[in-house]
């Protein structure tokens, strides 16, 4: 009799233990499910925050595009009606100023590379032509973004590197030894530094002329006081009388005289 009761109590304890283990398992599964829900809720909140940030960035980009479009439309509207001959004359004036200043800046460098005056003609001519091309390119590249220092220095550096590295090709060929490599590297650094100096001088002179109103950035504005109808007609007349191919220094002097 006592043994049967003991057996019943053991069976009852086993059933209660199994029930407790089942409840613990269900509680653990419930906790895991709650943790998953919390994790998904956090991910959802992060996604919503990223969407809000992306929407703000898109709205800011749209506002910037609208502002840029309005600014470009305003510039185009202001530049409408400006004679193309005046634009070409302004580019020639920029080329003249750049060629003059660049040639003067390159004179001390050329003096160190020649032994007589006849040898000075070729480097002066090369500097004059390259700086004239730089002046035209600089005006069309910078346009009316006169405070963009990266664009201005980048344009000067591009011309300096191309012209400086191009000068190495006329020298002795590169040999597969350390002496030849070091010689070409030092010459490249010297040529690039010299040409960077020349084009930086030309860029500074053009930037000064732009900001002082001596040369108009591209595109020109009808509202610029220096481009009144009378001055436009005078410049175009001088440009047409020269057959469209005036000497650079003459154009520069004429332009300054008109100011």
Q: Does the pLDDT at position 237 exceed 70? A: no
Q: Does the pLDDT at position 50 exceed 80? A: yes
Instruction: Return d(Cα 205, Cα 101) in angstroms, integer.
Output: 7
Q: What is the pLDDT of residues 189-204, one digit of tens each?
A: 888 899 999 999 999 9
- Chain centre distance of CA 215: 22
Residue ranges in the chain assigned as alpha helix (H): 2-79, 84-111, 121-142, 149-166, 178-212, 229-241, 248-258
pLDDT given at position 243: 54
Q: Give residue 241's pLDDT band: very low, low, confident or very high (50, 70, 90).
A: low
pLDDT given at position 123: 85
Q: For residue 83, give both structure tokens.
A: 């004679």
Q: Are 218 and 89 in contact (CB under 8 A)?
A: no
Which strand (E) or helix (H) includes residue 249?
Answer: helix 248-258
Which strand (E) or helix (H) includes residue 244?
Answer: none
Q: Which of 5-14, 142-151, 169-178 has the highest mean pLDDT?
A: 142-151
Which is it for the CA torsion 240, 243, 244, 246, positive or negative? negative
Half-sphere exposure of 244 (CA within 13 A, CB side): 4
Average pLDDT, integer, range 211-236: 62
Q: What is the pLDDT of residues 98-146, one digit of tens each?
A: 999 999 998 888 888 777 777 788 888 988 999 999 999 998 888 888 8
Neighbouring residues of 101: CB distance < 8 A, sequence distance ≥ 6: 131, 201, 202, 205
Q: Give residue 181's pLDDT band: very low, low, confident or very high (50, 70, 90).
A: confident
| Lookup result for tokens 């909140």 | 45
pLDDT given at position 166: 80
Instruction: Return d(Cα 142, Cα 90) in angstroms, integer.
Output: 14
Average pLDDT, integer, range 56-83: 67
Q: Give residue 71's pLDDT band: very low, low, confident or very high (50, 70, 90).
A: low
Q: Does the pLDDT at position 251 exceed 90? A: no
Q: Does the pLDDT at position 223 exceed 60? A: no
Q: Does the pLDDT at position 211 exceed 70? A: yes
What is the pTM (predicted TM-score) of this model? 0.55
Give percent of the chain with pLDDT exceeding 90: 15
Dihedral, 227, 217, 208, 158 alpha carbons, nearest 10:
-160
Q: Give residue 228's pLDDT band: very low, low, confident or very high (50, 70, 90).
A: very low
Mean pLDDT (the chain, rounded): 77
pLDDT given at position 67: 75
pLDDT given at position 97: 92
């Amino acid at each position: 009799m006592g043994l049967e009761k003991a057996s019943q109590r053991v069976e009852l304890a086993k059933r209660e233990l199994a029930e407790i283990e089942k409840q613990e398992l269900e509680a653990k599964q419930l906790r895991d499910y709650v943790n998953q829900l919390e994790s998904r809720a956090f991910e959802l909140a992060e996604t919503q925050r990223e969407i809000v940030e992306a929407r703000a960035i898109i709205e800011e980009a749209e506002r910037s595009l609208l502002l840029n479009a309005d600014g470009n439309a305003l510039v185009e509207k202001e530049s409408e009606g400006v004679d193309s001959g005046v634009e070409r004359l302004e580019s020639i004036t920029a080329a003249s100023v750049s060629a003059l200043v660049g040639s003067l800046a390159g004179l001390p460098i050329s003096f160190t590379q020649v032994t007589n005056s006849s040898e000075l003609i070729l480097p002066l001519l090369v500097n004059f032509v390259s700086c004239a091309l730089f002046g035209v390119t600089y005006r069309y590249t910078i346009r009316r973004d006169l405070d963009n220092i990266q664009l201005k220095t980048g344009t000067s550096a591009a011309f300096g590197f191309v012209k400086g590295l191009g000068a190495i090709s006329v020298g002795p060929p590169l040999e597969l030894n350390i002496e030849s490599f070091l010689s070409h590297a030092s010459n490249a650094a010297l040529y690039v530094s010299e040409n960077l100096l020349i084009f930086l001088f030309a860029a500074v002179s053009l930037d000064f002329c732009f900001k002082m109103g001596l040369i108009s950035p591209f595109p020109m504005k009808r509202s610029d006081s220096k481009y009144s109808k009378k001055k436009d007609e005078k410049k175009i007349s001088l440009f047409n009388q020269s057959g469209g191919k005036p000497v650079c220094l003459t154009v520069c002097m004429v332009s300054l005289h008109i100011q």
